[in-house]
Amino acid sequence: MTPHKQKRYFNRDLSWLSFNYRVLQEAKDPRVPLYERIKFFAIYSSNLDEFYRIRVAAWKNLELLAKKTKKELVEEPSFVLKEIKKTVLKHHAELSEIFKKQILPELQQNNVYLINEVELTKQQEAFCREYFLSKIIPIVKPVFINRKKSHEFVEDNAPYLAIRICDLDKKSNKDKPRVWEHAIVQIPTGSLPPYIELPTRGKKKYYIYVGDILKLYINHFFEEYELIETYAVKLSRDGELYLEDEFSGSLLKKIKRSLGNREHGAPTRLMYDRTMPKEFIKHLRHVFTLSADDLIPAGRYHNYKDMFRFPVNENKALYDEPLPPLPHRELDSYTSYFDALKERDYFVHYPYQSVNYLTNFINEAASDPAVKSIKITLYRVANNSKIISALIQAAQNKKQVTAFMELKARFDEENNLVYARELENAGVKVLYSFPLLKVHSKLLLVERKEGEKIRRYGYFSTGNFNEQTSKIYSDTGMFTANKLLTTELGYVFEFLADTRIMRDYKHLLVAPDHMRKDFYVFIDNEIKNALKGKKACITLKMNSIQDPEIIEKLYEAAQDGVEVRLIIRGICCLLPGVKGISDNIKAISIVDRYLEHSRVFIFHNDGDPRIYLSSGDWMERNLSRRIEVAFPVYDEKLKDEIIDFVNLQWKDNVKARIINRLQSNTYRKSEAKVKIRSQVAFYEYLKSKHNPSLKSVKADVVALKKMGA
């Protein structure tokens, strides 16, 4: 089997690595404030840890399949794993270089010094010793690793010191080779701050990584040994396999049967200090059951995600300029959300505007005597969630509250189960995951008695009901009382309560039943217009596009003259700009201070745009194996707002990277005099819209529009 059966698509996981490199680009971009760059180091590291736990683990397990079954895969697992490793090693080398030659010197220019155990003054060393004795000793304990399966106690993606020691008596006999023993101890970054401030004088501040303090006094645990060597390591484990997200039908059954006896939690990656002796590496390979391909040499620090907790600095210039949430002038002019929604639909854009508009709406519904029921889908919920509290309050106020809780939300399963029990104890009717379908849509329906009739109010969102992520994820939510939409929203909740109830949808696009078919109809309509010589354009903004069938449909559209514009934050398996295949397709990716998370689908439709938003991407799993809902925008003012938003993104010439067939992540160059950083530009756009007196801001927006933004 050739490495690539298909030459028309970019490998999904190599494309994801290309996205994570865009995160690393933010870490090395001198235009980004220093402490924001440090944050991007942490994001890069955290992302990669999850990637090894899930995606690399999946490929390693597919590598174990029988040859006959492997032949049915699109790509050879061993080839993909080699390409992944080659890419990761290249990125790691650049990461280390950036940190050493850019970040550390710039910290020092700002009187912040991150030093190691050999750079301490006597006063600082005395402080570290006291810290070790009082804080570290009580919570750490080395464990000897001299047998296979020693990895079973090692925590996934946690930082450790690997130690090799030589006994004095065994070493003293010159006629015999040294006999080494090996141990491992976890660096306590979970229990203690990763970076410890050291005593200093004057303006300069000194910090040391807690692992370096542990390393400095590691001999405390091995006093009977003479020779002690320590090296930083980090082990990644095989996480839960989500095979249903990737495969279906007979191939899924074959894979499950083949992997039935796999070892869950088996190691998938060992990052280690490249100065570690070969004999020590060989020993770790043996006890952790690793292959040579699982080894990732790195520097003395592997856990850059600890930099999420790098000590804050009082110098505001080292951070992004604050963009406080903007008011929504129209919604604020009403004392009741229900009165506002009787007039028209409204968008709230996070984090540009506050999530309080959503929580206030739910709180009003919870306390309004006329409200009879509240229905909601919950996928990822914040800690200490105000939304959960409002739902509980509604149940206590005798409302009929129904919450569909998705228990298969990756990494949030336990948190969701806790909240589900809390809701049930309060009297909320909780519906749970379906066996083969993940409910990923973000929906809210409020039913209110007005006169003799029940009126429905809905909220559709591209992002989760999560107050924490709404501060950093760029998402859009739509409040509506449009009967066409709220009636069909009711149909969705009927289905979630009883999957035997099937309805026809004329306005909402609902997966897995017919969303894919509806998108095909819209694409075919653009093809028809292009063939008639009319303007035909498709503009798509998503996190990821991977589904082969819909990619082929876009290739077909491009070949027939449809202009296709893609704004893809993450995975892009489509190859733009390939002669004879996708000449008419252009793609960019924007990585900036906020995580682009909204999904927008715009079809020109001969001058009468069809616009849909959704929480689902064009991934095979979203279109075929998840319950997703795309909602239309019918309000003309809101249509203009979305078009302005997407056009600002398309004109971005500061944070946009071009996605080409090689995914080389070249920044878009522009000869335009006006620099457009789309996230900041959209903030100014909303500020102008909801604060008409700000003439200077309005002038900026007018200038952008004159440019075609």
**Pseudo-torsion of CA 597, 600, 601, 606, nearest 10°?**
-150
What's the rounded Cα separation, in Å, for the pair 361 and 382?
17
Nearest CA to 540 among 591, 587, 596?
Answer: 587
| Cβ pair 140, 214 in contact under 8 A | yes
Q: What is the residue type of 632?
A: P
ω into residue 512 within 30 of 0, thus cis? yes
Q: Helices marked H in 114-248 — which ranges?
A: 122-131, 168-172, 210-216
151 is catalytic: no
Nearest CA to 131 among 211, 190, 202?
Answer: 211
* Chain CA centroid to CA 152, Å: 28
**Pseudo-torsion of CA 280, 286, 291, 297, nearest 10°?**
-20
| Cβ pair 377, 460 in contact under 8 A | no
User: Phi, psi at residue 351, to the nearest 5°?
Assistant: -90, 10
Nearest CA to 539 among 549, 526, 521, 552?
Answer: 526
What's the rounded Cα separation, in Å, for the pair 181 and 35?
41
- Count of CB atoms situated within 10 Å of the CB of 393: 17
Q: Which two tokens stand for residue 405?
A: 């809780």
**Pseudo-torsion of CA 522, 527, 531, 534, nearest 10°?**
50
Q: Which two tokens stand for residue 106?
A: 């710039």
| Cβ pair 38, 108 in contact under 8 A | no
* Chain CA centroid to CA 40, Å: 13
Taking the alpha carbons at both ends of the chain, their separation in whole angstroms is 47
Nearest CA to 448 among 396, 394, 376, 370?
Answer: 370
What's the rounded Cα separation, in Å, for the pair 27 and 35?
9
The widest CA-to-CA distance across the chain, in whole angstroms, is: 99
HSE, side-chain direction, 13 A CA sphere, residue 71: 3
Which of these is catalytic: 440, 507, 597, 604? 440
Burial class (CB in 10 A: 0-12, 13-18, 19+), 660: middle
Burial class (CB in 10 A: 0-12, 13-18, 19+), 8: middle
What's the rounded Cα separation, in Å, for the pair 201 and 113?
13
* Chain CA centroid to CA 158, Å: 20
What's the rounded Cα separation, in Å, for the pair 80 and 58?
11
Q: What is the 3-state secondary structure (H, E, C) of 485-553?
A: HHHHHHHHHHHHHCCCCCCCCCCCEEECCCHHHHHHHHHHHHHHHHHCCCCCEEEEEECCECCHHHHHH
| Cβ pair 9, 22 in contact under 8 A | no
| 296 strand-pairing partners | 271
| Cβ pair 689, 661 in contact under 8 A | no
Q: What is the residue type of 178?
A: R
DSSP assignment letter at 324: P
Angle at 25 between CA 21 and CA 31, to 5 degrees: 165
Nearest CA to 297 among 277, 319, 321?
Answer: 277
| Cβ pair 350, 463 in contact under 8 A | yes
Question: Which residues belong to the active site?
Answer: 440
